[in-house]
Amino acid sequence: MILEKKVAICIPYYKKAELLKRLLDSIQKQTFKEYAVFVVDDSDDEEVRRLINGMGENFIYHSNKERLGSTANCNKAMKLAQKCKPQYIKVMHHDDYFLHTYSLEKMVKIMDENPEAVIGFSNHSSDYGTEICDTCMDAEALKNLNTDIYSLLSVNYIGSPSTTIVKNLGIMMDEYLIWTVDIDWYVKFLEYKKNFIFTEEILIREGIDGKRVSDLCENDLQLNMKEWLYLYSKHMQIGVSPFIEKTIHQCISYYYKQKGYWVKNIYLAIFRDALNDGKKICLWCPDAESLEEGSMVFNRQKIDIDYFYLGSIEDGNYAKKKGCICLSYVEMMEKRNEIICIIMLKNAKEVRMKLVKDGICALPYMPKFLESEIIYK
């Protein structure tokens, strides 16, 4: 039985037992003890299984039946962590570790002292084997992040998830992404609420051996282009940010050359990511007929429709008969962190621009994509 803990330390693991042991040793030395550790093994390492199972009830081992990949493996750890009902989630990659015995205590403290913050982070150092380099956020970077959260696209000031601690809001990492997944995760938190806390102290050390997933992705131009295009499609506010790199400009050009407004895999990935974050569907329908059509499409996918935004009172009464709640725009705004709006209008592109500016996740209604494959299991 797993007791409730204030912090869940989530470790996505793959084939580096010695580095994992170093991390676990740093965890056991922490002065803050109200934690549970979830190690999710994507390689089925028997040595690691024995190691974790012998460390006590606060250390939980899980082995995936099939390999999930780095991002989905991290999400698996965060989902398993819900068993201990944590206030905070602390992701630690297995090649990183706590630099001081008080590191976790300090990270919990800055979050407790700033209850409005949804994410906290510290400076960090990197161990390259032959040298150790400190990475510190300067005043200009901090100002940029305070001014525009999309400045993270020009430079990832925060670093890897190991440098962060986040509120347990159910926000998962986007499984479509590999190289830019960290940036997207931070942006999702800051879109939820633009409130973060930062400490200048170096609390975490990253292990860099040239064989990490991020190292392998860095020079993959095709992967970079694909992911930046996806981020532009997903976070439309990027288009008005002054922090747009040349790569994103290239992606924008490609984006507009596509036949139609959307690429199927991008559309479905954005939709799946919203569902994975626990968002509920709100259909924006012009009339009862379109409401019926949309309902049937999602019913065939076995996905529930929870809310509607409709054009008339009469259609609103129809929605109630369907067992769903009809929202006003004000109510949509109040639930903006809980819903994804599917827009069944001819001017869906313009409406989506308005919604995302108001902080509401939204997609146009694309039945040819929604019915092309299983969306969500």
Q: At 67, which CATH number?
A: 3.90.550.10
Count other C-beta atoms under 10 Å from residue 259's C-beta.
Answer: 6
229: in domain: no
Same domain, 180 and 301: no
312: in domain: yes
**Residues with Cβ within 8 Å of residue 252, at least 6 apart in sequence:** 232, 239
**Residues with Cβ within 8 Å of residue 10, at least 6 apart in sequence:** 38, 40, 74, 77, 78, 80, 81, 89, 90, 91, 92
Residue 375 has pLDDT above 90, yes or no: no
Count other C-beta atoms under 10 Å from residue 126's C-beta.
Answer: 17
Q: Of 264, 302, 272, which Cα lies nearest the Cα of 172?
A: 272
Per-residue pLDDT tens digits for 229-278: 888 888 877 766 777 665 566 666 655 555 445 678 888 999 999 999 99
Same domain, 181 and 76: yes
Residue 137 tokens, joined: 């956020």
Give CA angle at 248 (166, 337), nearest 5°.
35
Report the predicted TM-score, pTM, of the whole model to 2 decimal places: 0.86
368, burial (CB in 10 Å: exposed 0-12, middle 13-18, buried 19+): exposed
Cα(347)–Cα(125) distance, rounded to whole angstroms?
Answer: 49
146: in domain: yes
- Average the pLDDT over 84-99 and give the result: 96
**Final residue belonging to a domain, choices 214, 229, 248:** 214
Same domain, 205 and 315: no
Cα(40)–Cα(59) distance, rounded to whole angstroms?
Answer: 11
Looking at the DSSP assignment, which residues form a beta bridge with residue 300?
A: none
Cα(313)–Cα(328) distance, rounded to whole angstroms?
Answer: 11
Residue 329 tokens, joined: 């725009």
Same domain, 183 and 314: no
Give CA angle at 181 (272, 365), nearest 5°.
30
Residue 210 has pLDDT above 60, yes or no: no
Cα(91)–Cα(348) distance, rounded to whole angstroms?
Answer: 37
- Average the pLDDT over 274-285 and give the result: 93
Cα(95)–Cα(26) distance, rounded to whole angstroms?
Answer: 12
Find the domain containing 322 and state its range.
277-370
Count other C-beta atoms under 10 Å from residue 168's C-beta.
Answer: 17
Same domain, 36 and 177: yes
In the chain, the percentage of residues whose pLDDT exceeds 90 is 54
The CATH number of the domain holding residue 305 is 3.40.50.720
Cα(182)–Cα(204) distance, rounded to whole angstroms?
Answer: 16
77: in domain: yes
245: in domain: no
Residue 193 has pLDDT above 80, yes or no: yes
Same domain, 175 and 63: yes
Same domain, 41 and 140: yes
Same domain, 171 and 298: no
Q: Of 342, 107, 96, 338, which Cα lies nearest the Cα of 201?
A: 107
Residue 2 has pLDDT above 80, yes or no: no
248, burial (CB in 10 Å: exposed 0-12, middle 13-18, buried 19+): buried
Same domain, 15 and 152: yes
Q: Are strands 307-309 and 132-135 parallel, antiparallel or unpaired?
A: unpaired
177: in domain: yes
- What local confidence, expressed as pLDDT, does residue 266 receive? 85
Same domain, 151 and 30: yes
For the chain, what is the domain count?
A: 2
- Average the pLDDT over 47-58 and give the result: 90
**Final residue belonging to a domain, choices 214, 245, 267:** 214
The b-or-e profile of 26-58 (16+ CB within 10 A means b, else e) is bbeebebebbbbbbbbbeebeebeebbeebeeb
**Residues with Cβ within 8 Å of residue 246, at least 6 apart in sequence:** none
- What local confidence, expressed as pLDDT, does residue 24 receive? 96
Per-residue pLDDT tens digits for 298-339: 988 889 899 988 855 445 455 555 567 888 889 999 999 999
**Residues with Cβ within 8 Å of residue 146, at least 6 apart in sequence:** none
- What local confidence, expressed as pLDDT, does residue 258 receive? 52
43: in domain: yes
**Final residue belonging to a domain, choices 172, 192, 214:** 214
Same domain, 299 and 163: no
Same domain, 25 and 140: yes
State the chain's mean pLDDT as an integer.
Answer: 87
Query: Over the Cα atoms of the chain, what is R_g?
Result: 22
254: in domain: no
- What local confidence, expressed as pLDDT, does residue 232 receive? 81
